[in-house]
């Protein structure tokens, strides 16, 4: 059996890798272990509980007001200890987090082949998103296996001079979304709990639900405040909407959001929602405003129009498809674009179309099949 170590730091990574971990654990060709850096500790554990995935190692690097310097320095040392103990044949990392980059770098230092899930995304601005854009570029160049979600991502890799071991497989986030909604629908008790929770303060029959998330570091300060002012303006202008904002734990987000948005009857600031609650709400929403990369990938599968609160995106396909618009952080632009979707059904219907931009929910199976083929090739060469 080949030994695989999945290295995970944040909730989005946990969501996107959970179905892949479950798929690989079904194979007799691999022994699988999971290492958490705990960049997002409690949120990751909740995701794992839902998908019934367990961690084998917890690096426990989390501390209040942590910086990129403290995260990076802690990660490289603690991952080294895990690699010395477990000695994996392959390391799997996902996306563009600091954990992904340092996990790949640690693999390189130990001459362990690295597989990068969601390779090839580019915003073409190394400071936006920051530090994610550079994390992903460096991880791509370090990695030995590149699992690109789209043809555009593959093209980006080729343009960067990366030509070996690239496969276009879709995005595992769609696997997670399909699996998550299936679990909810099968679990009557869980479904009733979720429905009861939201029905206590939301009117799904008479109101348009606008789902909001925002946490990007480059939006901290004035850009984020502008975004909050836009939300308040929308809530003031439209009595038939309700804005739901599951807020990030970062104080740079929480303090201005509560100051500007609290006590409005049509704005509901919630503590971070667990994954099943979040995807159920996303599926029931009318419109999504976000700076999240994962939501840009999930919204097309559900046919939810998306306003991206950023000036750039590394997920160009979702904008080109017409289901999303880049609106930046200008208060008036956000307000005007959202107002058009609330008022004009024709504009709304043009954007609200389900599309399999990022896969059909079978990405994990494709990746497993490819890795099995690679093992066979390796044996033939030897």
DSSP result, 52-99: T---SEE-----TT--HHHHHHHHHHHHHHHHHHH--SEEEEETTSHH
- Which is the catalytic residue, given 40, 122, 216, 248? 248
* Peptide bond connecting 129 to the previous residue in cis, omega within 30 degrees of 0: yes
Question: Would residue 78 show up in a list of annotated catalytic residues for this protein?
Answer: no
- Which is the catalytic residue, given 141, 178, 215, 254? 215
Secondary structure class of 187 (helix, strand, coil): coil
pLDDT tens string, the chain, 382 residues long: the values are 899 999 999 999 999 999 999 999 999 999 999 999 987 777 899 999 999 999 999 998 887 778 899 999 999 999 999 999 999 999 999 999 999 999 999 999 999 999 999 999 999 999 988 999 999 999 999 999 999 999 999 999 999 999 999 999 999 999 999 999 999 999 999 999 999 999 999 999 999 999 999 988 888 889 999 999 999 999 999 999 999 999 988 888 999 999 999 999 999 999 999 999 999 999 999 999 999 988 999 999 999 999 999 999 999 999 999 999 999 999 999 999 999 999 999 999 999 999 999 999 999 999 999 999 999 888 777 6
Q: Using alpha carbons only, give the angle 25, 167, 293 rounded to the nearest 5 degrees.
A: 80
Which CATH number does the domain 2-171+360-381 belong to among 3.20.20.70, 3.30.450.90, 3.40.50.2000, 3.40.640.10?
3.40.50.2000
- Which is the catalytic residue, given 141, 178, 217, 254? 217
Find tokens 């390779």 and name the residue. 119
What ranges in the chain are assigned the alpha helix state H?
11-25, 41-51, 68-86, 98-109, 132-142, 151-159, 172-186, 188-199, 222-237, 251-261, 275-284, 293-302, 316-320, 331-343, 345-351, 363-381
Question: Would residue 118 show up in a list of annotated catalytic residues for this protein?
Answer: yes
Find tokens 């300060």 and name the residue. 221
CA 167 – CA 366 distance, rounded (Å): 9
User: Does 2-171+360-381 match 188-351 in CATH topology?
Assistant: yes
Q: Are 93 and 139 in contact (CB under 8 A)?
A: yes
Question: Would residue 297 show up in a list of annotated catalytic residues for this protein?
Answer: no
User: What CATH architecture is 188-351?
Assistant: 3-Layer(aba) Sandwich (3.40)
Interhelix angle 331-343/222-237, nearest 10 degrees:
30
Domain boundaries, the chain: 2-171+360-381, 188-351
Question: Would residue 248 show up in a list of annotated catalytic residues for this protein?
Answer: yes
- Which is the catalytic residue, given 11, 40, 78, 96? 96
Q: Which residues touch 320 (CB under 8 Å, ≥6 apart)? A: none
Find tokens 């599951």 and name the residue. 246
């Amino acid at each position: 059996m080949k030994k695989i170590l999945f290295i995970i730091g944040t909730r989005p990574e946990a969501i996107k890798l959970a179905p892949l971990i479950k798929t690989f654990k079904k194979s007799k060709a691999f022994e699988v272990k999971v290492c958490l850096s705990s960049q997002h500790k409690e949120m990751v554990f909740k995701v794992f509980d839902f998908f019934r995935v367990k961690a084998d190692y917890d690096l426990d690097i989390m501390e209040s007001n942590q910086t990129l310097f403290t995260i990076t320095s802690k990660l490289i040392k603690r991952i080294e200890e895990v690699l010395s103990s477990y000695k994996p044949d392959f390391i799997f990392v996902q996306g563009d987090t600091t954990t992904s980059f340092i996990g790949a770098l640690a693999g390189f230092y130990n001459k362990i082949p690295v597989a990068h899930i969601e390779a090839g995304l580019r915003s073409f601005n190394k400071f936006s998103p920051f530090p994610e854009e550079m994390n992903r570029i460096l991880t791509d160049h370090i990695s030995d296996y590149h699992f690109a979600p789209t043809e555009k991502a593959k093209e980006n890799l080729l343009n960067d001079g990366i030509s070996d071991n690239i496969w276009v497989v879709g995005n595992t986030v769609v696997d997670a979304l399909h699996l998550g909604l299936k679990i909810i629908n099968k679990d009557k008790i869980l479904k009733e709990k979720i429905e009861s929770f939201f029905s206590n303060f939301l009117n799904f029959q008479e109101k348009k639900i606008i789902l909001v998330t925002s946490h990007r570091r480059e939006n901290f300060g004035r850009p984020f405040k502008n975004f909050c002012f836009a939300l308040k303006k929308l809530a003031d202008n439209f009595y038939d909407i309700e804005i739901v904002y599951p807020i990030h734990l970062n104080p740079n987000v929480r303090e201005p959001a509560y100051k500007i948005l609290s006590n409005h009857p049509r704005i509901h600031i919630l503590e971070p929602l667990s994954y099943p609650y979040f995807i159920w709400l996303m599926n029931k929403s009318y419109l999504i405003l976000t700076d999240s990369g994962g939501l840009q990938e999930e919204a097309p599968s559900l046919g939810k129009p998306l306003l991206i609160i950023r000036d750039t995106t590394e997920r160009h396909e979702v904008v080109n498809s017409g289901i999303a618009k880049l609106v930046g952080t200008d208060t008036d632009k956000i307000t005007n674009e959202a107002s058009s979707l609330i008022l004009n059904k024709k504009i709304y219907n043009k954007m609200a179309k389900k599309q399999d931009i990022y896969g059909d929910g079978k990405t994990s199976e494709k990746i497993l099949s490819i890795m099995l083929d690679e093992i066979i090739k390796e044996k033939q060469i030897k």
